[in-house]
Every structure is written in structure tokens, then in C-alpha cells.
A and B are shown apart, each in its own frame.
Chain A
Amino acid sequence: NAGVTQTPKFRVLKTGQSMTLLCAQDMNHEYMYWYRQDPGMGLRLIHYSVGEGTTAKGEVPDGYNVSRLKKQNFLLGLESAAPSQTSVYFCASSRDSSYNEQFFGPGTRLTVL
């Protein structure tokens, strides 16, 4: 099993460009999450999903959109990137509740110039 995978691993964008980060899990988990982590900070939840076709806002949702069309995939979109969105993005999944063990992907390092 690959666990949780993220695509791409690195990306550099110019201000105003758009992009989509893909997260995939092969553990048949119901819950999936997108976090961002900035230097010296903990992880902050952007959006999450409790099942296929559902999404919900986390702590810092502004400037991001998400979709969960298939149970195994969770997409994070930036419609118009800003330098403040420069960060490392982590995707995670868990079997059910948010407080059951979360499995994390390797992260995507995004730089917005």
C-alpha cells in the first residue's frame, strides 16, 4: 500500500496563477484533510472532508477550494495564488473520526513569487 501520496512535491507559482494539489489514499479512509505549515508553526487545517462528496472549512479556508469527487482523492485548489500562500501543504486521512489516527502524506512545498 502506498498510504497517502501527494502531487506535486514542489511547485513555484507567480502571483495570480492557479493550481491544484492532488492527494490520494489507498486505505479506504472516510476522512481526509488539508493542512498548511509555515516556519515555526504547527499545522493549521484548511479544509477537510468526512466522506465522498462532502467538504467543510477548517481554521484557514480563505483563498482555497477543495473537492472530494472520489473517496480516495481530495483536491486542493488555489484560484489566484498569493505570496501569503507560500507554505508546505500536508494532506492526511483517517478511518473515521478526526481524532483517530491520521496518516499524513509527504507534503508539497509551494512557493508563490
Chain B
Amino acid sequence: LAKTTQPISMDSYEGQEVNITCSHNNIATNDYITWYQQFPSQGPRFIIQGYKTKVTNEVASLFIPADRKSSTLSLPRVSLSDTAVYYCLVGERTGGSYIPTFGRGTSLIVHP
């Protein structure tokens, strides 16, 4: 099971782009990279998932280099409501009984 490493916290300001990088040096061939967002007093919410190169949805972009040993979640033009904890998970998507490991995540604080 691939271990992930993320910064514990980050600060930003409204309107800026925020990039959170996750390191996963021992990612396996079949592993996908998934990001979740958690607001205080709520359960985590799925943001985005990818396997390689770039994935974009209405909320964020996920950049994965060719060696897949890291990934970067990009949040364009953040607002105060993007203040949350962001978790990076790595694991195989098809079947199996892998235990998802959320870790402590990255606490993002967006300032006015």
C-alpha cells in the first residue's frame, strides 16, 4: 500500500491559486490517486481522481507527472469557503480489500 506525504498546513489568500503536492514514491502500477476535501464537522467529500497526466473537473485540477511519484491538486482562485482539510489517497481502483489511509491531510486556510 503506497504511503503518501503531504504538507501539514498551507495558507493562501482569496483569489489566489493553491497547489497542494502529495508525495507517493512507492505507487504501484494499478494505483489511482484520489483527493478528498473535509470541512469542519462534516465527512470528507470526493474532489478528484486521476491515474496520469492531468485531470480537470469543475472544482479542481490534478497534475500527475510521468513517473507518478507525486501529484498536485490545484485549486484555482480560492475563496474563504475553500478553507478545509485536503487528503491524498493512493490505491488500486478495481476490487481488492485495500485499507484506505487518509492520514492527517493538509489544512488549508484561506485569508481575506
Q: Are A98 and B97 in contact (CB under 8 A)?
A: yes
For chain A, residues 41 to 72, give those with C-beta under 8 angstroms from any C-beta of chain B: 41-45, 48, 50, 56, 58-59
CB distance from A39 to the nearest CB of B (A): 11
A97 to B109, CA, bound (A): 32
- CB neighbours (8 Å) of A45 from chain B are 99-101
Chain A at the B interface: mostly helix, strand, loop or mixed?
A: loop
Q: Helix, strand, loop or mixed for chain B's interface? A: loop
A16 within 8 A of B: no
CB of A107 within 8 A of CB of B43, answer yes
Give the complex CA separation of A105 and B41 in angstroms.
Answer: 11
> Taking beta carbons and an 8 Å cutoff, which residues of B are in contact with A?
31-32, 34, 36, 41-46, 49, 87, 89, 91-105
Contact A41 B96, CB 8 Å, known A101-B49, A107-B43: no
A-B contacts counted at CB < 8 A amount to 71
Closest to B98 in A: A98
Residue from B42, B93, B103 within 8 A of A97 (CB atoms): B93
Among A42, A59, A92, point to the contact of B43 (Cβ < 8 A): A92
**Contact A59 B99, beta carbon cutoff 8 Å:** yes
**Closest chain A CB from B86 CB (angstroms):** 11
Q: Which chain B residues border A74 with CB–CB below 8 Å?
A: none
Residues of A within 8 A of B99 (CB): 45, 48, 58-59, 98
Contact of A56 among B36, B91, B97, B105 (CB under 8 A): B97
Contact between chains at A43 and B34 (CB < 8 Å): no
Question: In the complex, what residues of A have CB within 8 A of residue B91's CB?
Answer: 97-99
